[in-house]
């Protein structure tokens, strides 16, 4: 089922953040229906750097290609600002769509951008963002590919301005609205009250961020259609990796950490090594 078709249901889509084929496959095995390829997560893992606009469109497209090779689940990809003007946004649409993305999320920050839960952001004019959304709509190859319009205006221009920008982006052709970093539950409720009957809404849950952490069931009741948890996996893995390396440095062995990690066979089971070898054997004549 396409993501567009899935959003016709009232049941909320929970899309965990992923950043490579392994995390995508683990999320699929856990039963999720869609994934979120986070620009922040790619910056954290591939670059070891913060989410301040350092990742490139080609790095994201390469990552998307690898994930699409590993899973058929629909993937929402973080397109940042479209990496430039309207023509750059069109190129990003073509590039990400060919890589296998089901939806592109683009925001109205200036370039280079920064994480929506960091301070001191700046925005492009709403009219420029409207043009970029229209340009992306013109460039997409499939009507099934969604445009998710994100505004970061709450922290810069205030809540009312953010709602007005979102309304303009909807008129420009956005398929989903994402008003980033609501500061309290009242703002979440107001967003849903104004837009939920007209368009699917996306909420972003960032542990330690500006928005109060709200469960998927609660967001569904409010009227949100998608909730993403973009960087949670990296925060979990980074904490585990830090503990692992400290343990290895201290003990010179993985034995003290063994109950917190897969052994060789365990990991091969998770990634399906036996199945892959059997599949290969069917083609090379070695299966008898």
Least confident interval from 118-132, 141-155, 182-196: 118-132
Taking residues 179-185, what's their average pLDDT? Answer: 95
Query: What range defines the domain where residue 176 resides?
Result: 3-232
Are both 132 and 275 inside the same structural domain? no
Given 193, 209, 232, the domain boundary residue is 232
Are both 215 and 246 inside the same structural domain? no
Q: State residue 87's pLDDT score.
A: 98
DSSP assignment string, 188-234: HHHHHHHHTTTS-BEEE--TTSSSPP--HHHHHHHT-SEEEETTHHH
Q: State residue 120's pLDDT score.
A: 66
* pLDDT, tens digit (0-9, with 9 covering 90-100), for 99-130: 999 999 999 999 777 665 666 678 999 999 99
Given 232, 247, 268, the domain boundary residue is 232
* pLDDT, tens digit (0-9, with 9 covering 90-100), for 199-212: 999 999 999 889 99
Under 8 Å between Cβ of 51 and 40? yes
Q: State residue 75's pLDDT score.
A: 98
Are both 168 and 196 inside the same structural domain? yes
Are both 227 and 244 inside the same structural domain? no
Tell me: pLDDT of 31 over 60. Answer: yes
Average pLDDT value over all residues in the chain: 95
Domain count within the chain: 2
Q: State residue 117's pLDDT score.
A: 63
Q: State residue 280's pLDDT score.
A: 92
- pTM, whole model, 2 decimals? 0.94
Tell me: pLDDT of 288 over 70. Answer: no
């Amino acid at each position: 089922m396409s993501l567009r078709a899935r959003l016709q249901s009232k049941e909320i889509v929970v899309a965990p953040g992923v950043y490579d084929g392994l995390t995508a496959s683990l999320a699929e095995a856990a039963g999720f229906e869609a994934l979120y390829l986070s620009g922040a997560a790619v910056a954290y893992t591939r670059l070891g750097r913060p989410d301040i606009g350092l990742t490139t469109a080609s790095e994201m497209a390469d990552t998307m290609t690898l994930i699409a090779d590993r899973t058929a689940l629909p993937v929402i990809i973080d397109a940042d600002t479209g990496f430039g003007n309207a023509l750059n946004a069109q190129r990003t649409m073509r590039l990400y769509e060919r890589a296998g993305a089901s939806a592109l999320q683009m925001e109205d920050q200036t370039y280079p951008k920064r994480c929506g839960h960091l301070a001191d952001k700046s925005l492009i004019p709403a009219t420029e963002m409207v043009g970029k959304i229209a340009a992306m709509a013109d460039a997409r190859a499939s009507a099934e590919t969604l445009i998710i319009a994100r505004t970061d205006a709450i922290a810069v221009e205030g809540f009312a301005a953010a709602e007005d920008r979102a309304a303009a982006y909807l008129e420009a052709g956005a398929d989903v609205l994402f008003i980033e970093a609501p500061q309290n539950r009242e703002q979440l409720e107001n967003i849903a009250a104004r837009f939920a009957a007209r368009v699917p809404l996306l909420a972003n849950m960032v542990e330690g961020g500006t928005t109060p952490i709200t469960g998927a069931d609660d967001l569904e009741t409010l009227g949100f259609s998608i909730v993403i948890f973009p960087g949670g996996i990296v925060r979990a893995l980074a904490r585990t990796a830090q503990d692992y390396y400290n343990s290895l440095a201290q003990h010179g062995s993985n034995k003290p950490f063994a109950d917190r990690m897969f052994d060789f066979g365990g990991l091969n089971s998770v990634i399906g090594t036996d199945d892959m070898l059997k599949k290969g054997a069917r083609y090379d004549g070695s299966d008898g």
